[in-house]
Amino acid sequence: MKKRIRIAQIGVRHEHANGKMATLRTMPDDFEIVGVCAESPADRETFGKHSCYENLTWMSREELLAIPGLDAVAVETEMTDLVPTAMLCAERGLSMHMDKPGGEDLQAFGKLLALCKERNVILQMGYMFRGNPAIQFCIEAARKGWFGEIFEVYTSMSRARDPEAFRKWLSGYRGGGIYDFGSHLVDIILSMLGAPDRIVSFQKQIDEDGLNDNGHAVLLYPKTFATIQTALQQADSQNSRRLFVSGTKATFELRPLEQWYVAYPRFNDLPLKARFFLREGNEAYEAGEHELSFGPMRDRYIDQLEDFAAYVRGEKENPYTFEYEYLVQKAVLAVSGYMEWEKNEKEGKVW
């Protein structure tokens, strides 16, 4: 019988916090949820009312970190507090699923990764498309060379206009919408193409409320333009989310990136579909156009959290290295205008 992972959640403010907890509660064979703590009493009152927290044991951060036999922590705090909280967990040797992105300070994130590597701590970053079968198919096709020479990657992930409270909160991050939502797209592009030579970032404000809600970035490679677009006032935003990859031998288009929800984070029962066109056949597909069906997805997070349980039990090795996570975070900060990108072949390999 496989070991159940004793897990607790620190934080309820992250946008994915209730979704992660809702998914964890559907996985009793993998996880025993032993506690949850909010950032403050006010946050527990505001965010802790969600049904996913019913009948769980609330406690302070200190009490949670001192739980006997605690195996892992889901770090789901406000984005500014993700890295400091994860450092507390790493110091105690606790495996972590930490939500994205890795803060606004690259040096602090690098210190976290160094400590995790030193202490042999498992760190799984919560980039949600790592569990998306259509996107993972596309990345694997690129690695197998099915696209030939890739010359264009276009990604978009936008939202409809959010309530004023959300916009006010996000305006506290100068990276704006592309920092929050575009980070997922950075992960896709770097998984496919590796570190770019250059990143050019643009920020615009559709409204004049202080939120950078129209972000655009281009990642430049020797033969490829990779584009990220996020806008937070887009009509039909869910259906407009898109991944398009074009190469000399094939094109791939996924639109939308996910299905609709029945009850977040559980998707509906419709299959996730993508268009794949090949100029010439390969070992798996004939030349011509294919409609690929990846079946209905169970929910947004379950595949990733199943992997996390396997990492903690030692059944699988996390394929996302510390070096890769550092490059993703550096690119996220460059894409959202926090820093200039400078490619350094040795960076991230000093650990």
Give percent above pLDDT 90 in the chain.
95
Residue 4 has pLDDT above 60, yes or no: yes
Angle between helices 106-119 and 322-335 (to 10 degrees): 170
Q: By C-alpha distance, which of 270, 275, 233, 284 is closest to 255?
A: 275
Task: Report the relative pairing of strands 214-220 and 198-204 from DSSP bridges.
Answer: antiparallel
Residue 96, both tokens: 């972590």
Task: Report the relative pairing of strands 123-125 and 72-75 from DSSP bridges.
Answer: unpaired
Amino acid at 47: F
Say if CB 295 and CB 272 are below 8 A apart. Answer: yes
Q: What is the structure's pLDDT at 52?
A: 97
pLDDT in tens, 125-165: 999 999 999 999 999 999 999 999 999 999 999 999 999 99
Residue whose token pair is 């059944």: 315
Residue 272 has pLDDT above 80, yes or no: yes
Say if CB 20 and CB 304 are below 8 A apart. Answer: no
Residue 349 has pLDDT above 90, yes or no: no
Catalogue the long-range contacts made by 289-295 (C-beta closer than 8 Å, 24 or more residues apart): 292/134, 292/137, 294/133, 294/134, 294/137, 295/133, 295/271
Say if CB 265 and CB 26 are below 8 A apart. Answer: no
Whole-angstrom distance, CA of residue 91 vs CA of residue 105: 19
Q: What structural domains does the chain harbor?
A: 5-127+303-313 (3.40.50.720), 133-257+259-298 (3.30.360.10)
The dihedral through the CA atoms of 159, 164, 169, 175 has a sign that is positive
Q: What is the structure's pLDDT at 253?
A: 98
Which distant-in-sequence residues (6+ apart) come within 8 Å of 256 by Cβ? 238, 239, 240, 241, 242
Say if CB 241 and CB 232 are below 8 A apart. Answer: no
Residue whose token pair is 């806008």: 231
- The overall average pLDDT reported for the chain is 96
Residue 244, both tokens: 């398009």
- Average of per-residue pLDDT across 48-71: 96
Burial class (CB in 10 A: 0-12, 13-18, 19+), 350: exposed
H helices present in the chain, as ranges: 17-24, 41-47, 61-65, 82-91, 106-119, 133-144, 164-170, 176-180, 182-193, 237-240, 302-313, 322-335
pLDDT in tens, 5-41: 999 999 999 999 999 999 999 999 999 999 999 999 9
